[in-house]
Amino acid sequence: MTTRADRLRVGVIGLGVGEQHIAGYRSRAACDVTMLCDLSDDKVTMAREKYPHTHVTQRPEDVLDNPDIDVVSIASYDDGHHEQAVRALRNGKHVFVEKPLCLHEHEAREIRMLLSANPRLRLSSNLILRMCPRFRLLRQMIRNGDFGRLFYLEGDYNYGRLHKLTQGWRGRLPFYSVTYGGGVHMVDLLLWLADAPVTEVAAQGNRVASAGSGFRYNDFAVALLRFEGGVIGKVAANFGCVCPHFHRLTVYGTEATFENGPESGLLYRSREAAVAPERITAAYPGVQKGDLIGSFVDSILKGEPAEVTTEHVFRAMSVCFAIEKAVQASAPVAVEYL
């Protein structure tokens, strides 16, 4: 591979949310998005018109095997991530991969092994809620001690788009997990806010909301998480909810409680009903899906830690794998960190 230390040549695979990856790389002067790939004829036609100075292909291997590509951004369907990440890493490329990193624990182990064998390579994943201004402020307040000691965090990924399971590609995959596909965002958020690993999970799931649709997997899963140090968390991946897309987040500490709302967050500093909560008006969600790309690029070019490091990706996925196992077993499962 011909690597230039000061510039990165990028290939993006999958042009749905992948288009937002393109925007993320384009916001960095050191990046040239030189190749785009999508299986669909329509997307290829669109890409040729919209991005005339890139090479557009329908064959992922043209990107993954190209010695003139330094970074591969993977935004294909969930079941394409593992194979594409492995091939890119084997070919010495840095990888930014949409969540979920992969769909099976053995796949994650293989990716881990390839990264260990080549520590120069960077891998990150689009766990984008960390870039939400309101959640960043919340984290800063937790760090500043405003919440006292945390004891309970609750995060519901209310998807509000059931049709994407019942009519879209998610329902056509050989395997789909709402925990990997959506819950992972809340798992990462809670890990990031609590700043402690999860040691054990208990979980249940069902498929009431999508019953009769032909969707074969749970459309709902909820997990209780025990964090090291005693904090308890609850994460739900709720794909059937009748409400708009929303990240329900509540954080309880000994000195304050935060509750996210669509317009503003509420910060309670008193148990008295007469004391009104403060309104936290920092933007929510307030992010574009390419907003993590800049820090990923800096992690490659400047050696700085990315906002979402490889460790963070594996940590969140390890908890998600444990949740999926706990749902299947209907029994608590210890988290095994990959």
Ligand X SMILES: NC(=O)c1ccc[n+]([C@@H]2O[C@H](COP(=O)([O-])OP(=O)(O)OC[C@H]3O[C@@H](n4cnc5c(N)ncnc54)[C@H](O)[C@@H]3O)[C@@H](O)[C@H]2O)c1
Q: Which is nearer to ligand X, 14 or 253 (CB)?
A: 14
CA dist 219 and 211 (Å) reads: 9
Distance CA 146, CA 253 (A): 9
Expressed in percent and rounded to 5, the helix, strand and coil fractions of the chain are: 35, 25, 40
- CB closer to ligand X out of 24 and 253: 24
Residue type, 12: V
Please state the closest distance from residue 63 (CB atom) to ligand X, in A.
9
Q: Where in 51-80 is the site for ligand X (CB under 6 A)?
A: 60, 75-78, 80
Site string for ligand X, 294-313 (x = CB under 6 A): --------------------
How many residues in the shown chain lie near ligand X by CB under 6 A? 23
Query: How far apart (Å, rounded) are the C-alpha atoms in residues 49 and 35?
Result: 14
Instruction: Select the span of 12-20, 153-161, 220-228, 247-255 touching ligand X (CB under 6 A).
Output: 12-20
Nearer to ligand X, 13 or 202 (CB): 13
Which H or E run contains 249?
Answer: strand 246-253
In the set 1, 17, 113, 211, which binds ligand X (CB under 6 A)?
17
Reading across the β-sheet that carries 31-37, which strands appear in turn?
55-57, 31-37, 8-13, 71-74, 94-97, 123-125
Helix runs in 51-151, H state only: 60-64, 81-90, 105-117, 133-144
| Residue in the shown chain whose Cβ atom is closest to ligand X | 16
Site mask, ligand X, residues 98-127, x = CB under 6 A? xx--------------------------x-
User: What pairs with residue 226 in β-bridges?
Assistant: 200, 232
**Residue 126 or 257 having the CB closest to ligand X:** 126
Nearer to ligand X, 252 or 284 (CB): 284
Contact status: 45 vs ligand X (CB under 6 A): no
Task: Identify the burial level of 36 via C-beta atoms within 10 angstroms of its C-beta, where 0-12 means exposed, 13-18 middle and 19 or more buried.
Answer: buried
Q: Does 16 bind ligand X (CB under 6 A)?
A: yes
Among 152, 169, 268, 337, binds ligand X (CB under 6 A): 169
Please identify, using beta-carbon distances, which residue of 293 and 333 lies nearer to ligand X: 293
Nearer to ligand X, 168 or 262 (CB): 168
Residues 243-282 that bind ligand X (CB under 6 A): none
If one asks whether residue 15 binds ligand X (CB under 6 A), the answer comes out as yes
Please select the residue that binds ligand X; options are 289, 312, 315, 325, rule is CB under 6 A. Answer: 289
- 259: β partners: 250, 266
Torsion angle (degrees, nearest 10) of CA 93, 97, 103, 108: 40
Among residues 16, 338, 325, which one has the least CA distance to residue 179? 325
Number of Cα atoms under 13 Å in the Cβ half of residue 139: 16
Fill in the per-residue mask, 175 to 214: x = in contact with ligand X (CB under 6 A), - = not in contact.
------x---------------------------------
Task: For residue 225, report the phi and psi dihedrals to the nearest 5 degrees.
Answer: -115, 135
Q: Which is nearer to ligand X, 94 or 247 (CB)?
A: 247
Site residues, ligand X (CB under 6 A): 13-17, 37-40, 43, 60, 75-78, 80, 98-99, 126, 128, 169, 181, 289
